[in-house]
Structure 1
Amino acid sequence: MHVSGIDGHIGDGQGCTVGEGSCYIWSPTMGVPVEFGSVARGGVVFCCVGALAITGSLHHIDKDLLGWWLCERQVKSGGLNGRPEKLADVCYSWWVLSSLIMIDRVHWIDKAKLAKFILDCQDKEKGGISDRPDDAVDVFHTYFGVAGLSLLEYPGLKAIDPAYALPVDVDLSDGNGGCSPVGLNCTGIRGLVSKGGTGPVEASVCSKVEPDVTLQMRSQKFQVTMEGRERANEEVEEEIWSWGAGTEGQLGTGKLEDDHLPPPLQTPPGESADMGKGKLWSVGSWEMVNSLQPQPVQFFQGLFVTHVSAGWNHSGFVTDTGCLFTCGDGSFGQLGHGDYESHSFPVLLPYFDSKPVEQVACGMRHSLVLLKGHSGDRIYGFGSGKRGQLGISREKIGSICLPQTTIGLEGVKIYSIHANGDHSAALSADGRLYTWGRGYTSRSDAYNPQHLGSSLSFVQAALGWNHALLLTGEGEVYMLGGKQHGTLGESHKMDLIKHFSENSEETVLGKIPGLNSIKVLRITAGAEHSALVTENGLVMTWGWGEHGQLGLGSTSNQTSPQVVKLGHKLHNTDSRTEVYCGSGFTLAVRTHHLPR
């Protein structure tokens, strides 16, 4: 920007907005935002932060919030990834590390472990550097590896400017004796490189002053409560499979690694099982420990849990008496307790003491609650609301920590509520879909529920980060949005149907291909992958497959539904199959009712 003179044409507010999972860049020629996905990417964040550094506008960034997101990119190996659930990659030793340096938060990561990760990626014979250990080397990753080591002040390397990506001894003055726009010194911003200290830090995660639970619950977990424990004259037998991202123990297999095929799990039938990092509760101890295998949530002994929901790092539980419990990260108010504290065990939400709760839905950093009563159905929202996902105001808001009523659904009988990422949705009893929050097919957000003007009637909905699945009563599956990793399916083979929402924006629904004459009973969506159960009990998956979450034995993406091999059903039994998606993993449950 500085070299080309573009920075002189950018006024206040045109630079970049970074924070709370979204990243925008304003083009000086177009004047419109360009959105890079549902959550920030490390490379895009670098572009934004670098642009602000060059234009002297870093004061516009919430550095603590951005620093927290960036430092969470460091994984156990010491390497950095570009966004949640991704593998570490040497290239982010530049994108993420330089961003941390520019906002003066580099001391929040373990620099020594990062340096070791980069060095482990070097081919000891050829000398080049690969994306991760034991992969093929290339010039691209060699450059970023060396640049990252330079930022870490590795001996024998020239210091590099984190904004300009040039050695700091390159003259960036304006030719008249003045300094570059960064304003820190005329040869770059070397001062930032060492400002965070030169030695390794003790903590391997960011040191933002938040309860530890915020940092120890980074990966999405999933809770499942089994229904129909026993029927008259029958015994119940259950099989559980999990596959996909497992490096935080979220698969419950006893291993800290991904699984590309569905191995069976062993868990006591009829209990609420909780798997993942920092999400195990036991009687008499509220300390957070890792759980590599399913464990019963002892907190709920004596209570009957009827509904559960897991967000990015918080959870909600509804009992048969209408009580709502929440736990996990509360730094955006998503627990609804009137503060921004985090809790490592379930805490009753007093706001709904006299209002029986029917359902809870947890998104990335927000929560929805459904109440049904004589005065009509109501939805409440709390937590992050910057994208309109709470539906409580007609204008943009920040975060709230107490439940407030979602407006615009007065008189609508609600069947179910849904949340994921920065999206919210509700299905009415007569099959109408309402959505609010981040838009699926446009760049605009909806601050209040918008009715999808469609002649179709839906019985189920499932939300991902970039897409929504919809199931009709006839067993047909439609997709809204979803252009990442093939989650929309093969669009050239889809029957596209255009509809108009209440704000007159065009919405395109696509019918999922490859399901001709197949009746679908259940649908579910992860971050960027999808799954369904057919009338015959088959589980099918498609979309993003990097962690093996499609259960097909590979990490390839799929643009149309593929059958997951779970083994044969027991003969002469009444079986029911369910499937659930986490952000990067999948869980399937098959319940057999055996004659006694």
Structure 2
Amino acid sequence: GVVFTSVGKFAPSLVNIGANSYGQLGQGHAEDQSLPRLSNTAALPNGAVVREVTGGGGHSVVVTENGEVFVCGQNSKGQLGLGHNTDVLTLQVCSSLSKRVTKVACGWDFTLLLSDCGQLLACGSNTFGQLGVGEFICSSSVCFQSLKEPVVSVAAGLRHSLAVTESSCVYQWGTGLFSQAKRAVSSNPVPSHLNSKVPSLVPGLDQKAFMVTAGSAHCVCLTDGDLFMWGSNKHGQLTSTEPFLFCPTLLKRSLLGGEKAVKMWSGWTHTVVQTESGKVFTWGRGNYGQLGRVASTSQNAEQQSAGPLAEGGRQEARLPAEVKVLCGATQVVLAVQQIK
């Protein structure tokens, strides 16, 4: 992955490590890297400040403070928004954008971009309707016409998308969750928001939404201090005893020590939340160590260890427990506060 970092008085830089089969590390080649290296940022303007870095199955997107977007990696579905389908091995500016971009979300092979005026753009694969434009297929950025008001938060899963509008409504599109939902619901119809190729209002939220995030097949929504979750619970990422939740379900604050949730992240099959006091809780799949702690099978949250990861603890945690982390698809990064 590509990591944004800033140290002391030095300008922000990009450090990369890991899989690079499609050139998603932006180094000009397609060889994996086992050691951290500075990214090739020649395409970025002098003095450019990186605001955000995110990535999909094989592509990376960098957003600067000025709202410019730079992309590299796999582009077979047009997910880089460059107007062609050729992979790109070094960062290139996405010149087709006429708006300043403030937020990007990457699915497996598609990209969602949110402009500073709340306009939502999308590019890449639309096989499952994850672009929200019906059956239309393209290889350059497309403006959503079906959302009639500005968007304030956006998220992308494996093959589904989420957005929060200015009026705090949550919309979902993309049929990536349909097959799991169909198995869970048996003979009854699957709710429309799980089987729509255009934005569909998510039912059951009785609080104003501020933010959404998505795992490969699950969804999380943040309101004023509360979390609502739905989708696949195969690895305990929703804390439920049910295998699939069709509509938003409230997470009890008692599972977060009675505190309000203020930030959240999703990995592929795990969930990360930060509370008002700065504590960070993780739960879900832990067999790759992505929870940053021992993943206990205990149903008592107090019995779930938040200590160093042990070899035998790489399993699943179906209840939150505290640990200081940041979140990747299957990784976490420990956060250390410097005392001056």
TM-score clears 0.5: yes
Q: Which residue of 2 aligns with 1:429?
A: 116
Q: Which residue of 1 aligns with 2:273?
A: 588
SS in 1 for 2:276: strand
Q: Which residue of 2 aligns with 1:511?
A: 201
Show CA shifts across 1:362-382 (max 9, x none).
111100111244xxx321111
Task: Choose which of 118, 137, 141 in structure 2 pairs with 1:449.
Answer: 141
What RMSD over aligned residues (CA atoms) do the two structures have, in Å?
2.9
- Does residue 395 of the first structure (1) align with residue 88 of the second (2)? no
Bigger proportion of residues as helix: 1
Instruction: Give the distance between the partners of 2:192 and 2:121, measured in 1 at CA.
Output: 27
Q: Is the 8 A contact 1:491 1:510 kept in 2?
A: no
- Once the two structures are TM-superposed, the CA of residue 532 in structure 1 deviates from its matched residue by 1.3
Instruction: Give the distance between the partners of 1:400 and 1:548, measured in 2 at CA.
Output: 37
Q: Percent identity?
A: 24
- Once the two structures are TM-superposed, the CA of residue 337 in structure 1 deviates from its matched residue by 0.9
- Does residue 364 of the first structure (1) align with residue 53 of the second (2)? no
Q: Structure 1 residues 495, 532: CA separation in 2 closer, same or farther (over 3 Å shift)?
A: closer
Give the residue type in structure 2 aligned to 1:413. Answer: R
Instruction: Give the distance between the partners of 2:137 and 2:193, measured in 1 at CA.
Output: 26
Instruction: Give the distance between the partners of 1:445 and 1:381, measured in 2 at CA.
Output: 20
Task: Choose which of 87, 93, 97 in structure 2 pairs with 1:409.
Answer: 97
Show CA shifts across 1:24-81 (max 9, x none).
xxxxxxxxxxxxxxxxxxxxxxxxxxxxxxxxxxxxxxxxxxxxxxxxxxxxxxxxxx
SS in 2 for 1:567: helix
Instruction: Give the distance between the partners of 2:190 and 2:143, measured in 1 at CA.
Output: 24
Matches within 5 A, 1:27-426: 314-319=1-6, 321-352=11-42, 354=46, 355-373=48-66, 377-392=67-82, 394-397=83-86, 399-410=87-98, 412-426=99-113
**Structure 1: runs of 5+ lacking an equivalent:** 1-313, 498-506
What TM-score comes out, normalization by structure 1 length? 0.40
- Once the two structures are TM-superposed, the CA of residue 576 in structure 1 deviates from its matched residue by 4.2
SS in 2 for 1:548: coil
SS in 2 for 1:549: coil
Q: Is the 8 A contact 1:531 1:540 kept in 2?
A: yes
Task: Choose which of 482, 489, 492 in structure 1 pairs with 2:175.
Answer: 482
Q: Is the 8 A contact 1:436 1:446 kept in 2?
A: yes
- Does residue 461 of the first structure (1) align with residue 122 of the second (2)? no
Bigger proportion of residues as strand: 2
SS in 1 for 2:198: strand
Instruction: Give the distance between the partners of 1:444 and 1:521, measured in 2 at CA.
Output: 29
Give the residue type in structure 2 aligned to 1:585. Answer: H
Q: Structure 1 residues 567, 344: CA separation in 2 closer, same or farther (over 3 Å shift)?
A: farther
- Once the two structures are TM-superposed, the CA of residue 526 in structure 1 deviates from its matched residue by 0.6
Instruction: Give the distance between the partners of 1:404 and 1:493, measured in 2 at CA.
Output: 38
**Structure 2: runs of 5+ lacking an equivalent:** 280-340
- Size of the aligned set, in residue pairs, is 260
Give the residue type in structure 2 aligned to 1:532. Answer: C
Instruction: Give the distance between the partners of 1:345 and 1:389, measured in 2 at CA.
Output: 27
What TM-score comes out, normalization by structure 2 length? 0.69
Greater gyration radius = 1
